[in-house]
Structure 1
Amino acid sequence: MARARKTLALLINNLEGYYLEPIWQGVLKACQTNRVDLHVFEGRVIESSVRNEGQHNIVYSMSGSELYDGYIISAGTLAHTLNQGAYEGFMKQFSGRPVVTLQRPSSGANSITIDSHASLKALTLHLILDHRRKNLVYIAGPVDNSDNQIREQAVRDALELALGPETSLPVLPGGFREPEGRRAMERLLESGVPFDGIVFFNDSLAQGGMAYLLEHGFNLPRDVSIIGFDNIASSQALVPSLTTAHQPLEEMGAEAVSLLVEGFDNPGAESTPRQIVLDSIPVFRQSCGCLGSFSSRSVVNIQVIQDFWKRLLSEVDDCISRGRREDIPSRVYSALAEEIALGRSVAPYQDIGQVIAKRLDEQLRKDTAPAAPEKEINNYELGLHVQMVHGAVMTAGESMDKRRFVHLVSNFRHVILEELYDLRIKSLFETLPGVLQNLGIQGCAVAFYETGVIRSPARGVAVPPDRAVWKFCYWNGSTVPLGSEGLTFPMNRIVPPGVGDPSGRIAGESESLLIQPLFHGNEHFGIVVFSLSMTDDLLFEGLRAQMSSVIKGSQVFEAKERTERRLRDTLDELKQKNQDLRSLSIRDELTGLYNRRGFIELGESHLHRAQLLDQWICVFYIDLDGLKAINDRYGHDEGDRAIVSAGDLLTRAFRSQDIVARYGGDEFTVLTSETDSKTAEVLVTRLKSTLAEFNNQNNLPYRLSLSIGFVSRRMNSPDHIESLLRKADSRMYTDKSKNSK
C-alpha cells in the first residue's frame, strides 16, 4: 500500500556558497529519490553581527508546524554563534519531532558530523614524513569555532606522533576569508618565526596566504608546503593547485534524508538518537610538494589574476562614468567568457559580486549629485546579479550555451532595471508571471500578514502572526485565481494554493519549496514561496529583495494616494506625509543623522533666521581619526560601527535643537544657534568628555578619536554655510595635527 506523502523541513542560513550549496542540493536530490516533499526555510546566522541579517531569521519561527514529518537543521552554520545553552534553547522548539542536525549535535536529536581530524592529521603527517617539513605553522579559524579547535588539535597530534611531544606549533589568528589569509602571512613574516610548512584552517585562507607569499618572492612548494581544508572549487584551479581535504557535504545532506526516511518506513524501530560521523578525505595536489614544482607558472598565474581584476574594474568604472551601470553584468560575462576561451579557470573570482558592489558603493560616495530615486539601482541587487553571472559561467564552463545564457542574463536585467520598478503591488503581480516564465522559475506565491506590517524589536527577531493571506500564486505555467480578497491560511501550514495539501496526496514526483521573508529594514510584510530546483538558487535572493523593495515602495505610494484623497479635510496629515518622504533624502542611512544635503538645506535656513534675529551661530567640523586604519585592520563592518559610534557621541554631546550631520565618509558637521566662542568651547569639552567615557567603557581594539574645528560668528551680516564650513575645516586640521603627535 502506498504511503501518504511525507514532508521534510530544512533550516539553512543560505543557499549560496561552496559549503552550504552542496548540503541543500544533497538534501533535495535525496528527497526527489525518496519521493519526499521538501520545504526549505532560508534565514541567516542566528545572532549575526552583520547589519540587518537577523531580519531574515523570522523564517525559522515559521517552521514549527505539524505539517512536517521531520527536520534537517544546518546547525553547524546557522547556530555557530550560540553557546551550548542558547543552542539547546533554540532546539527546544523541535523537541519530540524527528530531527537531524548537521555539524553540531544536540541532545535528543540525530546528528551527522564530518570528522576533519583524521584527514588533517594524515595530511600533516604527509608533510612531515614525505616532504620532510619540520617547522609547521597553523593559521587558525575563528577562536570559538569548534572545527578550528579540532583542526588545530589534528595538527598538534601529527606533530607529536612524528616529531615528539615537545614539538611546538606556532598558531596565528586567521578567520574565514582570503584577505585574512594575506594578513596572517604578513604577521608571520614580521614575526621572524621559521617555517617550511603552513596548515590553513580552510582553503580561502590558504588562497590568500599563497598569493601573498608568491608576491613576496617565495617559491611554492619548494620553499614552503601549503595545506588547506574544504576542497572548494577554486582550490584545484590555483597554480600550484592546493592540497586540501574534501568534506562530503552533499553526502551529508543525502544521509540526513535517508535517516529520516528510515524512521518513516520503520515506525516501531528503536528511537535512540543516532550519531553518524562521515570521514573527510585528503586530496593531494601540488602545493604540498607532490607532482613536482610549478614556481614559474605560479608567478604567471598570480599575474593573470591581478591583470583580470585590473581590466574588469576599469570596465566597471567606465560604465559608472557613462551612467550605464546596467551594462556591468554583460561586461562581467564577456570578461569571464574570455577567460574560459583562453583555457583559464574563473574559480578565483568567486567573490566578484561583492567586489563590484563595493566598487559601486565607493563611487556613489564620491558622487555629490544625488541620482533620481526611480533611476537608482540598488548596489546590493546588482552585486547579486553579477554573482549570478559568475555562478552560471562557473557551472557551465566551456559547455555553456551562450545564447541561452545571454537570454537569461538579459531577462534578469530587465526584471531588475525595468519591470520590477513599478511601485504598485497590483502591477507587480501582473508582471511577475512573465518574469518568472522568462527566468525558468516554475512556481512563486506571495502572502501578506493578515495583521499588516509588523516590525522587529530593537533587539531580537520579529515573531510572525498566526495567519496570512495568499495574494499571488503562479504555479506550473499558470496563475492561480485567488479572488479579490485572496486566500487566508494559518502560518503553521505554508502550502501555496497551486501546490495542494501534501497530507492528501500519494507519493509521486516530489514538490520542493523555498520559503523566504519579505521585509524592508525592520518592517516585515509577509513571505514569498518559490518552487525550488537545482539550478535556480542564484535568482531567488535577487527577486526576494526586489519584491520587498517594490512592496515597500507601493505602500509609500498608496499612502500618498490615500492622503491626497483626504486633502481637503486632512491638510496637516498630508504635509506630515510629505515631510516624512522628504526626510528619506536628507538622512544618512548608516547613522540616522542628517546627510550633506540635509545639513546644507537646514543650515542655510538657520543662518537666515539668525541674521534676522542678530544671533550668534557656530559651525563645527569634526573628523573621525584613523577610519582607514580601522577598515584595513578590522574590516569595513567594524569601520561602520566606528562611524555609528561617532554619530551617537555627537548626538549625546550636543543639544536636541542642534543640527548634527554625517557630511561624508568620516566627516561630521554640527550647527548650533546662539553659540558664541565661549559656549562652543564648553560644547567641545563636553564632547571630549563623552568620547573619553566611551573609550573607557567599551573594550574596543582601538580608541575612537575625533579632530574638532569650529567657527563662531554673530550674524549681523550675510554669510553662507559653505564659507563657515571651510573655516571650521581649516581649524579642524590644526586639531588633527595635534592628535597625530
Structure 2
Amino acid sequence: MLVESEQNQTEHTYRVGVFLDSADSYFNRRVIKDLVALADERKLKLVFFFGGSLDKGLQTGPGSFCYSLPDTEYIDALIVFPNVLSPYNPVSGTSGIIEKLPGIPVYSFFVTHPQFFSVVVDETEAIDQLISHLVKHHSFRHFSILSGPQSGESLSCTRQKQIEAALSKHSLTIAKEDSFTGTFTIEDGKETARTILFSGKKAPDVLICLNDQMAIGAMNEFIHNGLSVPDDIAVIGFDDVEENASLKCSLTTLNFPIWTMCTVIIDKIANDLFQRTPYTKEVVTFPAELIIRRSCGCSEWFEVLPKKKSSFSPISEKRQSNSSLKQSVSYKHVMQHTLEKSLESQNYSSFSTYIVNTISLLSQSGQLTNSFIDDLANEWTLALANHPLISEQTIINSLFIDAFKNLLLEKASLFSRQQTTNNGSLEFYRECNEIIARKLSVLDSLKGLGAQLPHLSISELFIVMIAPDRTDTGEIRLEYKDSEYIRVPEKNFTRVLLKKLIPSFLAHTLQPIALMPISRKGNVFGYTAVVLKDNNIAQLSLIQEMISLIISAAADNLVLSDHIEALLQKNQHLSQLSLIDDFTGLYNRRALYKTGRAMFESAQDKRESSCFIFIDMDGLKKINDTFGHNAGDTAIKILADILKHSFRENDLVVRYGGDEFVVVMINITEIVLEKTLSRIANRIVAFNEQEQYKWLLSVSWGVVFNKKTTYEKSFEAVIEESDAKLYREKHKKKNMYGFSKLS
C-alpha cells in the first residue's frame, strides 16, 4: 500500500504559482528560465502571475488583479518575490496580497519573510569587499549611487545603508546631490547618466547602481555621450545578469547564486508536496560574490577574491536532484573527472557527450555566458599542464577544439533564434499599432490581433475577458494554437470560472503558463494566458502591452461592445466593494490601510495637518447581554450612520472592527475638529432623547491631531496613539453608558 501511495503521488502533477511583477527585467527573465528548467525536472507545473508592482502605501492595483485569480483548489504552492511585488514594503505588502490564499504553503525568494520559507542572499561581506576594492585599489573618493524605491523595508534602502556603512569605514560618504533614485529600469540609468553629464559639476569617480539593468543603461548613455567607462567614470552593478556578456565594457557587479537558490526552493516545494519533508518557516541564506571586471577599471583577467563555496546544508537528505542539473551547477569538477576517465579508458566519446549535454543545459537555463567560456579555456590549459606526454596532449587538444566548435554552434543557434524572435516581435508591434490606428471594435481588434500571433514564438495563447454580468466568470474571446487554429468567436462565448484559471483545452499541457492582466488606465478587462517557451519569455511584456493597448483603444474610440461598457461600470463597483464594510456601509479596515495611509502620506508630503480619531462604543457588551445581539447590531448601525453624516465628504470614516471606528481627516483645523466632535455628541444626545430603544447610545474617543510641522510619527504609530488615548478616556468613565433605562 505504501508503494502504491508513493506511486500515485509521483504521478500526480502539482501546480505551483509564481507571483512576479513582470518578465521585463534581465533578472526576472533569468529567474524564470531557471525555475522553469528545475520545475520541469521535478514534474511541477508552474503558473506565473505577472501582476506588476504595488505603488507606495497601496495593497492593490490594476495589474494586481492577477494576484487575486489563483484558488487553493487549483494552486498547490506559491513562490513570491516580495521585493518586486511590493518594492516599498516587501514583507507587509506581500502579506496583504496573499491573505486570500489561506493554508497554501508559500516560499519567499530573495526576501526574508517571517511567515514563509525563505531563500535569501547576504550581501554585507560582498559590499564591504566592493567598497574596499574601489577605495584601496582604484583610490576612488567621490562616490555616487543610483538606488531603487526608498522605504524602511525596501531592498534598495537596505543595500544603500550597507554601502554607506562600508564607505564610513574609510571615512567616506555620498553627498546628497550624488544620490539618485530610480525604479530598477534601463531608462533610470540613462536619465541618471544624463543628469551627471549635464549638471555642470565634476563627474563622480564611480556610479554604483543597485541593479545591473540601471548600470547598463547608465554605462551606455555615458559612452553614447563621449564619456569613457571606466577611464572617465566607473560603473558598478548588482545581479550579474546574462546580458553583461554582450557589453563592450564588462560590468563589475555582485553575483547571486540564482540557479542554486532556485534549486533549493524548487526542491523544497517538491519535497513538501510529495510529503518527503514538512513545511517549515526556514531561512536559507547564501553569500553574494563580488565579480571584478573592466567597468571599475580592472583588466579582464584581474581577480581580487577567491571564489567561496556555499555553506548551505541540504534541507533534507531525501532532496531529489536530477544528475544532469547537478552537472550544470558543478560542471568544472565533473569536466575534470570526465576528461580523466576518458583518457584512462580511451573512450573519448563520453567527454564529448558530456560537453554537448552541458552546453545544452546551460543554454536552456540562460547560463551559457562568458564565464563558462573562460572556465572551458582554463580547463583546457590545466589539462595540458597535467598531461605532459605529446600523445595525450594531442588528444586533449582535439577534444577541446571539438568542445569549442560545439559551443560556437550553440552560440550561433542562439543568435539566430534571437534574431528571428526580434524580427517577429518588431512585426507584431507594427501590426498591432496599425490595429489601434484603425479604430476598430473589440471583436475586429481581436480578429486582427489573432492574425498577428504567428509572428511570435508562442505555441498556445488565449484571452479571457471578465463577463459583464458575473465578476467571478470569464469569457474566452480568443484561442490560438500554433499551426492549428485561431478562434475569435462573435457570440455564445465559452465561459470559465476565473478561479479555475486555465480552460479545459489548455489544462492538459505540462508546460509552464504565464497569466498577464489586460488592464489600462485603471480598468481591468481580463487576462491573457500564454504557454511559456524558452524563446518567448522576452516577448511576454510586449504581448501584455499590445493586447492591453488594443482593448483600451477600443474603449477610447467609443466603439466598445456592450461587454466592455458594462465591464467598465463593474470595475468601479468591484473596487468600491473591496473597500466597503458590508454590515455598516462605511469603509473597511482595508480602506484604512490603503486610502487612509495614502491620505496621511499625502498630508506629510504637502506639510498639511492631519487628524486620527479612534472611536469605541461604550457598553456594547451590556446591551448584548441584556437585550440580545440584535439590539447590539442595531446600536452599531445607528452609531455608524451618525458618524457617516457627521464628517466632511473627503474624510475617511472606517469601521475598524466590532464596535470600533477610525476616522482620518487631513488639512483640518482644530476649530473644525472641535465642532465635528461636538456635532457627534449632540446627535447622540438627540438620539437618546427620542427613547426609541430600551438602551442608551454612547461613545468614547481618542484624538491625535498632527500639526503641519509635526510629522515624526508613522501611520501605524498615529493609529496606536489614538487607540491608547481612547482607552485612557474609557478608563475615566464610570457607570454611564450602555445602561438599560429599566435598570
Is 1:451 paired with 2:468? yes
Structure 2: which amino acid aligns with 1:148?
Answer: S
In 2: Cα distance, 1:215 partner to 1:398 partner: 24
Would you say the 8 A contact 2:71–2:101 is kept in 1?
yes
Instruction: Report the count of equivalent residues.
Output: 444
1:122 deviates by 1.7
- SS in structure 2 at match of 1:29: helix
Q: Report what 2:475 is aligned to.
A: 469
Q: 1:215 to 1:541 in 2, by over 3 A?
A: closer
Q: Report what 1:78 is aligned to.
A: 85
Is 1:6 paired with 2:14? yes
Q: 1:91 to 1:71 in 2, by over 3 A?
A: same
Q: Where do residues 8-407 of structure 1 align in structure 2 (5 Å cutoff)?
A: 8-47=16-55, 54-82=61-89, 84-129=91-136, 131=137, 133=139, 135=141, 137-142=143-148, 143-144=150-151, 146-156=154-164, 158=166, 163=170, 170=175, 172-176=178-182, 177-179=188-190, 181-182=192-193, 185=196, 190=201, 199-203=208-212, 206=215, 221=230, 226-232=235-241, 235=244, 240-267=249-276, 269-291=277-299, 399=416, 406=423
Would you say the 8 A contact 1:138–1:152 is kept in 2?
no
- SS in structure 2 at match of 1:417: helix
Q: 1:91 to 1:423 in 2, by over 3 A?
A: same
In 1: Cα distance, 2:546 partner to 2:231 partner: 50
1:217 deviates by 9.5
How big is each residue's C-alpha offset from its partner over 1:179-226, in whole Å with a ceiling of 9 and x where there is no partner?
453367469984x89x75664434455557667888999876567655
Would you say the 8 A contact 2:460–2:481 is kept in 1?
yes
How big is each residue's C-alpha offset from its partner over 1:579-634, in whole Å with a ceiling of 9 and x where there is no partner?
xxxxxxxxxxxxxxxxxxxxxxxxxxxxxxxxxxxxxxxxxxxxxxxxxxxxxxxx
- SS in structure 1 at match of 2:38: helix
In 2: Cα distance, 1:115 partner to 1:158 partner: 14
- SS in structure 1 at match of 2:529: strand
| Bigger mean CA offset, 480-489 vs 106-115 | 480-489
Structure 2: which amino acid aligns with 1:467?
Answer: T
Structure 2: which amino acid aligns with 1:513?
Answer: I
In 2: Cα distance, 1:84 partner to 1:561 partner: 41
- SS in structure 1 at match of 2:115: coil
| Bigger mean CA offset, 425-434 vs 16-25 | 425-434
- SS in structure 2 at match of 1:535: helix
Q: Where do residues 593-612 of structure 1 align in structure 2 (5 Å cutoff)?
A: none
Q: Give the alignment's TM-score, normalised by structure 1.
A: 0.51
How big is each residue's C-alpha offset from its partner over 1:712-741, in whole Å with a ceiling of 9 and x where there is no partner?
xxxxxxxxxxxxxxxxxxxxxxxxxxxxxx
Q: Where do residues 607-646 of structure 1 align in structure 2 (5 Å cutoff)?
A: none
In 1: Cα distance, 2:270 partner to 2:211 partner: 33
Q: Report what 1:526 is aligned to.
A: 526
Would you say the 8 A contact 1:62–1:491 is kept in 2?
yes
In 2: Cα distance, 1:559 partner to 1:270 partner: 55
Let me know the Cα RMSD of the aligned residues: 4.6
Q: 1:481 to 1:244 in 2, by over 3 A?
A: closer
Q: 1:400 to 1:72 in 2, by over 3 A?
A: closer
How big is each residue's C-alpha offset from its partner over 1:377-427, in whole Å with a ceiling of 9 and x where there is no partner?
xxxxxxxxxxxxxxxxx9988656867864664455335425995724444
In 1: Cα distance, 2:88 partner to 2:549 partner: 29
In 2: Cα distance, 1:292 partner to 1:85 partner: 42
Would you say the 8 A contact 1:9–1:72 is kept in 2?
yes
1:135 deviates by 2.8
In 2: Cα distance, 1:11 partner to 1:141 partner: 23
Q: 1:416 to 1:48 in 2, by over 3 A?
A: farther
In 1: Cα distance, 2:68 partner to 2:450 partner: 29
Would you say the 8 A contact 1:65–1:493 is kept in 2?
no
In 1: Cα distance, 2:452 partner to 2:473 partner: 28
In 2: Cα distance, 1:560 partner to 1:266 partner: 50
- SS in structure 2 at match of 1:54: coil
Q: 1:174 to 1:396 in 2, by over 3 A?
A: farther
Structure 2: which amino acid aligns with 1:536?
Answer: N
In 2: Cα distance, 1:561 partner to 1:111 partner: 46
Q: 1:265 to 1:424 in 2, by over 3 A?
A: same
Q: 1:136 to 1:421 in 2, by over 3 A?
A: same
How big is each residue's C-alpha offset from its partner over 1:647-666, in whole Å with a ceiling of 9 and x where there is no partner?
xxxxxxxxxxxxxxxxxxxx
- SS in structure 1 at match of 2:47: strand
Q: Give the alignment's TM-score, normalised by structure 2.
A: 0.51
1:6 deviates by 0.7
1:265 deviates by 2.3
Structure 1: which amino acid aligns with 2:254?
Answer: A
1:541 deviates by 3.8
1:83 deviates by 6.8
Find the structure with the greater CA-based Rg. 2
- SS in structure 1 at match of 2:181: coil
In 2: Cα distance, 1:214 partner to 1:123 partner: 23
Identity of paired residues, percent? 16
Q: Where do residues 715-730 of structure 1 align in structure 2 (5 Å cutoff)?
A: none
Among candidates 459, 474, 491, match of residue 442 of structure 1:
459
Unaligned runs of 5+ in 2: 1-6, 183-187, 303-410, 566-604, 607-706, 711-743
Structure 2: which amino acid aligns with 1:516?
Answer: M
1:99 deviates by 0.8
Q: Report what 2:680 is aligned to.
A: none
In 1: Cα distance, 2:192 partner to 2:198 partner: 10
